Structure 1
Amino acid sequence: MIRAQALSKTFGDKTAVDAIDFTVKPGRVTGFLGPNGAGKSTTMRMILGLDAPTSGTVTVNGHRHLTSPAPLRSIGALIDAHAFHPGRSARDHLRWLAASNGIPTTRVGEVLELVGLESVAGQRAGRYSLGMGQRLGIAAALIGDPPVVVLDEPVNGLDPEGIRWVRALARRLAEEGRTVFVSSHLMSEMALTADHLIVIGRGQILADTSTEDFIATHAVSYVRVKSPARAEIGALLTRAGHEVEVVDNALHVQGIDPAAIGDLVHRHGLAVHELTLVRSSLEDAFMTLTADSVEYVSKTREEVAA
C-alpha cells in the first residue's frame, strides 16, 4: 500500500504538489492521470525517495522507502526506462541490481523470460530499441519480486502486442495481491487497465474514484436516434423534457435510455432506423475534469494568426 498524507513539494516559488492525500491499495490497478506539469512525476519521485517532500509524508507499506534495507524487494519502479549503462548487457545490468539487494541470480533469468528479452540478454543494452529498453526497465522493476509496483508510462515505445502484454502484466500483478500504480497519457489503454483512478491537476487531487464512476460523473452519455421522422421525434422528446441536439442528421438525446425512446416512438407510430447508446470515454471525462488545470495549451493556426 502507498499512503500520502498532506504531501507537498515546492521548487522555489512554484508549488508542484500541494498537500495531497491519497491511498493506493493492493489488489487493484490504480491509474495516475494528469496533464503535463500536473505533479505526477514529482509525486512518483517522492514515493521512491528520489525527491524529498517539502512537507507531509508518503509511505510504502507503512515505511518510508528510503529506510528499506533492500528497496528493490519492497517496491519496483519504472521511472526512466533507459536508466542503465549502454555498454552493459541486459543480463549483467540485472545481475548487478540483484547483487545490490541480495536477490538470487536465478531471478535474473526469470524476469528476462517474463519480459521477452532472454534471446537478446547478452547484447549491449545501448543497442536496444525504445520498446526493448522499456521491457528491460520493467524487468528491473520486477527483479525483487516486490509487493508494490510503480510504472511511469510503461507502454511508451511498445508495439500493440507489447501494449497488450503490459496491460495483462499489470492486471496479473494486481490479481496476485500487489499494489500497482500506473501513470499514462494513453486514456484508451488506461480505461482497459485501471480499476481505480487518481487524477491530479496543478498539484492537487481532482478525483480519487473507480474508473467506472469517474467516467459516469465527468462525461455525458447520450442516445443517438436516426429516423425519417427526425423532426417529429425531436419535438416529442423535447416536450417530454429531454435535452435534444441535432448532430449529423441524427438526434443526440440525454436523460433517457434507448428502450424508453423506442416505446415513446412506437406509441406515436413513427419509424426509427437507429437507437444507439453512446457511452462517453475516459478521455472525454478526463478532458472535462482537467480543462481548467492544463498548464500548456496548444493553439490552432487560426488562433495564432488572430
Structure 2
Amino acid sequence: MIRARELTKKYGDKTAVDGLDFAVKPGLVTGFLGPNGAGKSTTMRMILGLDRPTSGAVTVNGVPHEDSVAPLREVGALLEAHAVHPGRSARNHLRWLAATNAIPDARVDEILAQVGLTEVADKRAGKFSLGMRQRLGIASALIGDPPVVILDEPVNGLDSEGIRWVRHLCRQLADEGRTVFVSSHLMTEMALMADHLLVIGQGRILADDPMTEFMAGHAPSYVRIRTRDRVQARAALTGVAAELTEGDDELRVSGLGAEAVGDLLFDAGVRVHELTAVQSSLEEAFMALTAESVEYRADTARPTSDLVAQGALR
C-alpha cells in the first residue's frame, strides 16, 4: 500500500503538491488523474524517493521507499520510457537491473516474453519505436515481481493491441493482490481500467473515490430527445424534469428516466425521433471537476489566422 500524509512539495514560491493525504490500496487499480501541471509527476517522484518532500511523508508498505534494500523487489515504476541507454540491448538493460537487486537472470527472459519483446531482445534500445520502449519500460518495472506497481502514462506510443494489453496487465496485477497506481490522460482507457480514482488539481486532492461513486457524483445521466415538436415537448416537461436544457438539435432532460420522459411526451402527443438515456463520460466528469484547476489553457476563441496576423505565431 502507498500512504501519503500531508505530502507537500515547494519549489521556491511555487507549491507543486499541497498537503496530499491519500492511500493507494492493494487489489485495486487506482487511476491518478489531473491536468498538466497538477503535481502528478512530482507526487510519483516523492513516492519513489526521487524528490524529497518539503513537509509531510509518503511510505510504501509502511516504510519510505528510499530505505528499501532491494527497491525493484518492492516497487516497480515506469516514469520515463526513454530512461534506457540507447546502445544497450533490451536483454542487457534488464540483466543489469536484475543484477543490482539480486534477481535471478532467468527472470529476464520470462519478463521479455511477458511484454512481447523476445524477438527483439538483442536489439539496441536506441532503435526501438516509442511503443517498444514503453514495453521495455514496463518490463523494467516488473522485473523484480514487486507488490507495488506505479505506471505513468504507460500506453503512450502503443497501438490498439498494446493498449488493450496494458489494460489487461493492470487488471491482472490488481487481481493478484498488488497495489497498482496508474496515471494517464486517456480517459476512455481509465474508465475501463480503474477501480478507484485519485484526482488532483493545482497540487490538491479534488476527488478520492471508487469509480462508481465518482461517476455517480460527477457524471450525471440525462435523457436526450430529438423532436420537431420542441414547443410541445418543453411544455410537457417543464415543471416535471429536474433540469431541461436545449442544444442545436436536441433537448436534454435530467431528473427523469427515459420511460417517464417517453410517457409524458406520448401523452402530450409529441412526435419523437430519438429518445436516448445517456450517461456522461469519465472525460466529461473530469473536465467539469478540474475546470478551475487547468494551468495551461489554449485560447480556443481566437482563430489561428488572427494570431498569425498579429504576429503571435511565426
The C-alpha deviation readout for 1:40-83, integer Å capped at 9, x for no partner, is 00000000000011111100011111111110000000001121
Across the aligned residues of Structure 1 and Structure 2, the Cα RMSD in angstroms comes to 1.5
Corresponding residue for 2:226?
226
Corresponding residue for 1:279?
279
The percent identity for this pair of structures is: 66
Corresponding residue for 2:80?
80
CA distance in 1, matches of 2:146, 2:197: 22
CA distance in 1, matches of 2:249, 2:23: 47
Corresponding residue for 1:139?
139
Matches within 5 A, 1:73-222: 73-222=73-222
Corresponding residue for 1:300?
300
Partner amino acid, structure 1, of 2:19: A
Unpaired runs of at least 5, structure 2: none
Corresponding residue for 2:263?
263
Partner amino acid, structure 2, of 1:215: M
Partner amino acid, structure 2, of 1:100: T
- Cα deviation, residue 269, structure 1: 4.2
- Cα deviation, residue 281, structure 1: 0.7
Identify the range of structure 1 (15-24 vs 217-226) with the bigger mean alpha-carbon deviation: 217-226
- Cα deviation, residue 301, structure 1: 6.0
CA distance in 2, matches of 1:98, 1:44: 22
- Cα deviation, residue 144, structure 1: 0.3
- Cα deviation, residue 228, structure 1: 4.1
Contact 2:232 2:268 in 1 (8 A): no
CA distance in 1, matches of 2:271, 2:198: 45
Within the alignment, does 1:56 sit opposite 2:56 as a pair?
A: yes
SS of alignment partner, residue 36 of structure 2: coil
CA distance in 2, matches of 1:159, 1:241: 43
The C-alpha deviation readout for 1:63-107, integer Å capped at 9, x for no partner, is 111111110000000001121111111001101001100111111
SS of alignment partner, residue 156 of structure 2: coil
The C-alpha deviation readout for 1:129-182, integer Å capped at 9, x for no partner, is 111000000000000000000000000111111111101100110011000000
- Cα deviation, residue 210, structure 1: 1.4
- Cα deviation, residue 189, structure 1: 1.1
Corresponding residue for 1:27?
27
CA distance in 1, matches of 2:289, 2:240: 30
CA distance in 1, matches of 2:246, 2:100: 64
Corresponding residue for 1:71?
71
CA distance in 1, matches of 2:193, 2:241: 37
CA distance in 2, matches of 1:246, 1:287: 21
- Cα deviation, residue 115, structure 1: 0.5
Partner amino acid, structure 1, of 2:64: R
CA distance in 2, matches of 1:99, 1:198: 35
Unpaired runs of at least 5, structure 1: none
SS of alignment partner, residue 263 of structure 1: helix
Partner amino acid, structure 1, of 2:32: F
Identify the range of structure 1 (283-292 vs 259-268) with the bigger mean alpha-carbon deviation: 259-268
TM-score by length of 1: 0.96
The C-alpha deviation readout for 1:10-51, integer Å capped at 9, x for no partner, is 111111111110000011100000111111000000000000
The C-alpha deviation readout for 1:171-228, integer Å capped at 9, x for no partner, is 1100110000000111111111111100111111111001222222223321011234
Corresponding residue for 1:36?
36
CA distance in 2, matches of 1:176, 1:31: 17
Report runs of 4+ in structure 1 exceeding 6 Å deviation.
Answer: none
SS of alignment partner, residue 155 of structure 2: coil
